[in-house]
């Protein structure tokens, strides 16, 4: 069995305490809201309470008259209202979601900021908007964005007006769908839905922006998941050149895809206030503001139709996947590329026709949240697979074994899986170690109970590693040796809590051959290194670290050359151990320290650093058919969930989740396990409790009193199973894990609930009513 532990590395595949833990454990770590600079004042945003309205008049005179209030800015006071990425810094006169910013203020204290916000008078004229996917697609729906398009023959059409975000439309056309269905012995069609979900990182968005002649014009210290992406907002808001706008990432208190748009907008707004007041400005979102303006996981409506032969081979798959993009959006076009590529699951299906697109609605925008569409689509697909198995009377594991992608198979985009693919071994291992069939039998004895019933389910999935066809997966790293024999590593990718600093330290140590304790990771400062793209798509290790691997190997070669010169031998006769170079086979007598080597290089004028830029291989899909090589490789997951459902209350107790992942090469088992455990908890929330309820655009949860995610008492027993395989595409053979760790858990729990209750779950979360009835009573009347 390809379990972790058979690979031969000096520093990879080994436990290492996180390099940033000590500062976090002692409270020394400084996050953006902890930054304080001389002369600092505070900023705040006035947010609209309507989902769709015209601003008739704004009167800021009373706010401006308050002593200690230094600036009150509205659309007319700023160079541009709309950011480079669609989202508004300030409303252009029409507000399109609850929470849209209509004015910003800067004042001496946070109390005065509140006073000033209260003193601004705004007159609105409310409009009828669209709030749901169904409402946005209605024939006579109000068109809320000029760029929205309509449907023609059921598909997005550029020449029609409507609410579809055309750039987010991705079709997949593989084989002959009509032929596939005509040859099918069994056909089933089902619909599924998922809600808005909040990232719920514990750190709220924060920044301090200040004029900084050393940097050029301004420096921003920010809780930025992607500092270079944030720089785009900073430079854009004040219309300044990028090379004079500096963003420094502070320690980041969780992000999961969320600290992108709102942090960019907040930094942009703070910069506008800095330019207006000439004072450093701090902005920190309240939790309520964070809920209102940070991106949410896209709600999706799914419709799938599958055709199978009588022995259970899926030969035709048709689907429509529609995402709720919210009022403004610059994410759904990338997200839906991924959603389309994965629209037929982890299955080998010859004939596929799917259409994926997003619609604009008068809601908070949807964006990236751990999975980037995968938790939603895996939920829908895996419930569908189980419904098929039940209707056909075949075993649900057999159905998966019969159809799952294997080495040599073609994916939905007709990409041939050339690398080792261990899906069948993973299923077998998970079935055996969880005692799936024994428990299924045992739990079935509870299925007539009117009190508590138990259920078990297995789901399988895969995920393209890194950016793939979404956008070029390139990046650069700088590895610098210093005269005392220590090493600095620097890259454009960021530590967001996931453990990137630690993984990169291990990867750099592997390349150089030195120990990990002499390496220091420079935090991201946009003035110190080129942009390496965003720290997203679980790309940090698999693709982002390729340049770190290459740069550290190259630096190691340079250091060995100098060591060989000092040892009067050839470089290929020299190796390194415990930061000492030695002549191989010399019993450790001929040695020179790394410090001496570095010092010699400095004083002989030799290069002390290597910068490597790593470009991905050729990838891309045809936009009309979705066919082509979509990703460098794929991560595979098999997750088993066990639940107990209280049939009187609908309460779902998640008993155990066993989560198996093919990570290619496990860089650090501690951090891999941490990702898997955290992914289970986040997936449990997605499956059972988490939903940001929206009522005509109004968020009905804005803090953790009503938005419920698992506490230490709620989480299940957890089992992390780490598989490795032979796949050379990623850094040292590593594959993505951050998103895979959570993407199948909600699906597995929902399927286990369906097993326990006998009622299929077609909408998340499995709250009390849905668990018992398969539908929500409180949402019985659909709001259009």
Partner 1 sequence: MNKIKLVMTVNKKNVETEIEPYARLLDVLRDKFGFTGVKEGCGIGECGACTIIMNGKKVNSCMVLAAQAQGADILTIEGVENSDGSMHPVQEAFLEKGAVQCGFCTPGMVISSYHLLNENQDPTDQEIKEAISGNLCRCTGYKQIINAVHMAADNMKK
Residues at the contact surface with partner 1, assessed by CB under 8 A: 15, 17-18, 20-31, 33-34, 199-204, 251-256, 286-287, 496-499, 670-671, 673-674, 676-682, 703-705, 709-713, 715, 718
Six-digit token string for 661 = 């992942």
Least gap, CB of 10 to partner 1 (angstroms): 20
Nearer to partner 1, 208 or 325 (CB): 208
Nearer to partner 1, 283 or 621 (CB): 283
Nearer to partner 1, 251 or 397 (CB): 251
Least gap, CB of 722 to partner 1 (angstroms): 14
Least gap, CB of 203 to partner 1 (angstroms): 4
Measured at the alpha carbon of residue 633, what is the angle toward residues 632 and 639, in degrees to the nearest 5? 150
CB 116 within 8 A of CB 346: no
Cα gap 285→303, rounded to integer Å: 37
Nearer to partner 1, 88 or 710 (CB): 710
* Interior/surface letters 323-332, b for 16+ CB within 10 angstroms, e for the rest: bbbbbbbbbb
Share in percent of the chain as helix, strand, coil (round to 5): 30, 30, 40
Residues with Cβ < 8 Å from 244, sequence gap 6 or more?
215, 216, 217, 218, 235
Tell which residue, 616, 631, 357, 634, has the closest CA to residue 469.
Answer: 631
Least gap, CB of 259 to partner 1 (angstroms): 11
How distant, in Å, are the alpha carbons of 465, 481, 522, 666, 762 from that of 12? 19, 21, 21, 7, 42
Nearer to partner 1, 538 or 633 (CB): 538
Quickly list H helices, 657-728: 669-684
Cα gap 468→783, rounded to integer Å: 37
Least gap, CB of 773 to partner 1 (angstroms): 30
Give me the residue label for tokens 């198979």: 409
Least gap, CB of 38 to partner 1 (angstroms): 14
Least gap, CB of 288 to partner 1 (angstroms): 9
Least gap, CB of 643 to partner 1 (angstroms): 17
Nearer to partner 1, 592 or 663 (CB): 663
Six-digit token string for 247 = 């963003």
Nearer to partner 1, 181 or 521 (CB): 521
Nearer to partner 1, 571 or 674 (CB): 674
432, containing H or E segment: helix 423-433
Least gap, CB of 200 to partner 1 (angstroms): 5
Tell which residue, 740, 626, 743, has the closest CA to residue 356.
Answer: 626
Cα gap 370→376, rounded to integer Å: 11
* Interior/surface letters 613-634, b for 16+ CB within 10 angstroms, e for the rest: ebebeebebeeeebbbbbbbbb
Least gap, CB of 675 to partner 1 (angstroms): 8
Nearer to partner 1, 251 or 306 (CB): 251
107, containing H or E segment: strand 101-107
Least gap, CB of 671 to partner 1 (angstroms): 7
Least gap, CB of 736 to partner 1 (angstroms): 17
Tell which residue, 714, 721, 715, has the closest CA to residue 639.
Answer: 721
How would you classify the pairing of strands 281-284 and 41-47?
parallel
Nearer to partner 1, 604 or 712 (CB): 712
Nearer to partner 1, 23 or 441 (CB): 23
Number of H helices, E strands in the chain: 20, 34
**SS3 labels along 197-259:** ECCCCCCCCEEEEEECCCCCCEEEEECCCCHHHHHHHHHHHHCCCHHHEEEEECECCCCCCCC
Least gap, CB of 286 to partner 1 (angstroms): 6
Q: What is the DSSP string of 291-351?
A: HHHS-EEPPEEEEEEEEE-TTS-EEEEEEEEEEEEESS-SSHHHHHHHHHHTTTTTB--SE
Nearer to partner 1, 254 or 472 (CB): 254
CB 480 within 8 A of CB 601: no
Nearer to partner 1, 369 or 422 (CB): 369
Helix (H, G, I), strand (E, B) or coil at 420: coil
Tell which residue, 566, 169, 178, has the closest CA to residue 353.
Answer: 178
Half-sphere exposure of 509 (CA within 13 A, CB side): 26
Tell which residue, 487, 479, 470, 460, has the closest CA to residue 543.
Answer: 470
Sheet holding 281-284, edge to edge: 69-73, 101-107, 41-47, 281-284, 206-211, 218-222, 245-249
Nearer to partner 1, 18 or 269 (CB): 18
Least gap, CB of 272 to partner 1 (angstroms): 25
How distant, in Å, are the alpha carbons of 48, 53, 54, 76, 104 from that of 123? 10, 10, 9, 16, 16
Least gap, CB of 118 to partner 1 (angstroms): 16
CB 312 within 8 A of CB 399: yes
Least gap, CB of 678 to partner 1 (angstroms): 5
Nearer to partner 1, 491 or 502 (CB): 502
Nearer to partner 1, 134 or 714 (CB): 714
Q: Give strand pairing partners of 612.
A: 477
Least gap, CB of 137 to partner 1 (angstroms): 34
Nearer to partner 1, 197 or 323 (CB): 197
């Amino acid at each position: 069995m390809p379990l972790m532990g058979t690979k031969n590395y000096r520093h990879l595949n080994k436990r290492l305490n996180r390099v940033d833990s000590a500062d976090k454990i002692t409270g020394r770590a400084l996050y953006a809201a902890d930054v304080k600079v001389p002369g600092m004042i505070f900023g705040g945003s006035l947010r609209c309470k309507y989902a769709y309205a015209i601003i008739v008049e704004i009167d800021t005179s009373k706010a401006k008259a308050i002593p200690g209030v230094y600036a009150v800015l509205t659309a007319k006071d700023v160079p541009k209202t709309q950011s480079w990425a669609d989202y508004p810094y300030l409303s252009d006169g029409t507000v399109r979601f609850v929470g849209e910013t209509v004015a910003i203020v800067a004042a001496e204290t946070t109390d005065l900021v509140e006073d000033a916000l209260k003193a601004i008078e705004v007159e609105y004229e409310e409009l009828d908007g669209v709030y749901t996917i169904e409402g946005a697609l209605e024939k006579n729906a109000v068109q809320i964005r000029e760029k929205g398009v309509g449907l023609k023959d059921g598909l997005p059409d550029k020449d029609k007006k409507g609410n579809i975000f055309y750039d987010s439309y991705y079709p997949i056309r593989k084989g002959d769908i009509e032929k596939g269905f005509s040859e099918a012995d069994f056909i089933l069609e089902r619909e599924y839905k998922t809600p808005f979900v909040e990232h719920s990182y514990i750190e709220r968005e924060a920044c301090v922006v200040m004029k900084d002649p050393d940097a050029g014009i301004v420096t921003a210290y920010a809780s930025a998941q992607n500092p270079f992406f944030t720089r785009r907002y900073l430079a854009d808001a004040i219309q300044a050149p990028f090379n004079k706008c500096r963003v420094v990432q502070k320690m980041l208190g969780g992000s999961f895809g969320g600290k992108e748009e709102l942090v960019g907008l907040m930094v942009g707004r703070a910069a506008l206030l800095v330019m207006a007041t000439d004072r450093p400005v701090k902005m920190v979102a309240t939790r309520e503001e964070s809920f209102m303006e940070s991106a949410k996981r896209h709600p999706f409506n799914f419709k799938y139709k599958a055709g199978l032969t009588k022995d259970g081979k899926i030969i035709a798959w048709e689907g429509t996947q529609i995402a709720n993009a919210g009022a403004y959006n610059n994410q759904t076009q990338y997200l839906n590329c991924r959603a389309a590529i994965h629209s037929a699951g982890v299955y080998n299906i010859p004939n596929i026709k799917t259409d994926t697109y997003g619609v604009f609605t008068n809601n908070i925008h949807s964006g990236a949240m751990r999975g980037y569409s995968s938790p939603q689509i895996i939920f829908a697909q895996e419930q569908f697979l189980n419904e098929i198995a039940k209707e056909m009377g075949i075993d649900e594991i057999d159905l998966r074994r019969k159809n799952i992608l294997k080495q040599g198979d073609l994916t939905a985009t007709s990409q041939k899986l050339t690398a080792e693919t261990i899906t069948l071994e993973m299923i077998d291992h998970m079935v055996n170690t969880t005692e799936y069939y024994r428990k299924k039998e045992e739990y079935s004895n509870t299925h007539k109970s009117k009190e508590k019933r138990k259920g078990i389910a297995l789901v399988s999935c895969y995920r393209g590693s890194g950016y793939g066809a979404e956008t070029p997966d390139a990046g650069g790293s700088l590895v610098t040796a210093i005269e005392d024999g220590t090493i600095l590593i620097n890259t454009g990718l960021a530590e967001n809590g996931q453990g990137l600093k630690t993984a990169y330290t291990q990867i750099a140590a592997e390349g150089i051959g030195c120990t990990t304790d002499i390496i220091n990771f420079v935090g991201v400062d946009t003035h110190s290194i080129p942009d390496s793209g965003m720290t997203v798509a679980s790309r940090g290790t698999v693709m982002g670290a390729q340049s770190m691997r290459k740069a550290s190997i190259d630096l190691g070669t340079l250091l060995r050359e100098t060591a060989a010169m000092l040892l009067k031998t050839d470089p290929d006769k020299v190796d390194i151990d415990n930061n000492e170079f030695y002549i191989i086979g010399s019993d450790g007598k001929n040695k020179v320290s790394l410090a001496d080597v570095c010092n010699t290089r400095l004083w002989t004028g030799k290069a002390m650093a290597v910068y490597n830029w790593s470009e991905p291989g050729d990838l891309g899909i045809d936009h009309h058919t979705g066919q082509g090589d979509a990703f460098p490789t794929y991560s595979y997951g098999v997750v088993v969930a066990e639940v107990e459902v209280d049939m009187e209350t609908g309460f779902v107790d998640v008993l155990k989740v066993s989560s198996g992942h093919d990570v290619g090469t496990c860089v650090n088992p501690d951090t891999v396990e941490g990702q898997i455990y955290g992914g289970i908890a986040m997936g449990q929330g997605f499956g059972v409790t988490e939903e940001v309820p929206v009522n005509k655009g109004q968020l009905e949860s804005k803090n953790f009193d009503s938005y419920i995610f698992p506490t230490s008492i709620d989480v299940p027993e957890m089992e992390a199973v780490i598989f490795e395989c032979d796949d050379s595409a990623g850094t040292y053979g590593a594959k993505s894990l951050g998103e895979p760790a959570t993407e199948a858990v909600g699906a597995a729990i929902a399927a286990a609930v369906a097993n326990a209750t006998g009622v299929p779950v077609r909408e998340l979360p499995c709250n009390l009513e849905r668990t018992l009835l398969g539908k929500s009573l409180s949402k019985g009347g659909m709001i259009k």
